[in-house]
Amino acid sequence: MTDALGMAHDLPELAAVAHRVLPDLLPVQSLEFFTDTPHEGLLRFAADDDFSGSPARMPDASPTSLLLPVGGEGPSAVVHLVLRHSTEISQEMSEMFVRLEPALRVALNRHLDQRQLEREQLELRESANHDALTGLLNRHALQETIRVDARFGVLMIDIDHFKRVNDQFGHPTGDRILRDVAAACRNALRSTDLVFRYGGEEFLALLMNSDRAHTSAAAERVRLLVAHLAFDGVEGLDGVTVSVGAAIHHRGQPVGEAIGDADRGLYRAKRDGRNGVCTAWDG
């Protein structure tokens, strides 16, 4: 058994081997690993969650519960063996568990390193798809999330006179405006809708399974919510407004075509005096 466990490459493989061989020695019902990590606290790793790691409390020792410490360099850890019934642990078996500690430590450290690497890669992918200032999706993410086989509403949203406001009140205030308008767009729409920072002071929203009536109403909600934003502490800034162009993407239609329809609506709203909504179907 020592040789078999020592040859396991990672924690799931080690657990699978243990499940096969330990019942020959002990009435093992299940086993799990607990380790105290520096950033997430105590985590539990077990087959029932694919060893992904979840916050937990250390189990209590009992006649049907064995807690075996894992020595060596790395975060403190134990293996928890749940037994079907209480049993006596012989000296020979205790010595065997001590001999298994190096294999357990190697497998556990390898698993923790791989888990951290995967988390860092996920964070990098997330950061690559999100705008750092507003937290919205960016144009790079648009290519990954858009579906040509779906029907959705399209909103092009532009902050009115943003360059003038930015020049007058400074870039820190301009950044605050961008963040607050982004939050207003997000709050005005459903959780299933997607909002992107399309460029500069321009935002794009894709409204899933949306018809003309819903798309038009959503555009008006965005306009009103932005118009009611207050910028306390910025003397002379009474507020900002947005112009919105709305269109519908139909299944099979080139996405760029629907975005272009919304963009033309946006420019009509600008020509009509700003702080308004223009729809492609009324143009």
Which of helix, strand or coil describes residue 261? Answer: helix
Q: Which of 63, 65, 56, 6 is nearest to 34 (CA)?
A: 56
How far is 190 from 185, CA to CA, in rounded Å? Answer: 10
88, 201, 202, 257: which is the annotated catalytic residue? Answer: 201
Q: Which of 224, 238, 228, 234 is nearest to 161 (CA)?
A: 238
The kind and range of the H/E element at 272 are: none
Instruction: Name beta bridge partners: 130.
Output: 137
How far is 143 from 208, CA to CA, in rounded Å? Answer: 16
Task: Give the tokens for residue 223.
Answer: 């306009």
How far is 230 from 228, CA to CA, in rounded Å? Answer: 6
Is 201 among the residues known to form the active site? yes
How far is 181 from 119, CA to CA, in rounded Å? Answer: 30
Mind telling me the catalytic residues? Answer: 201
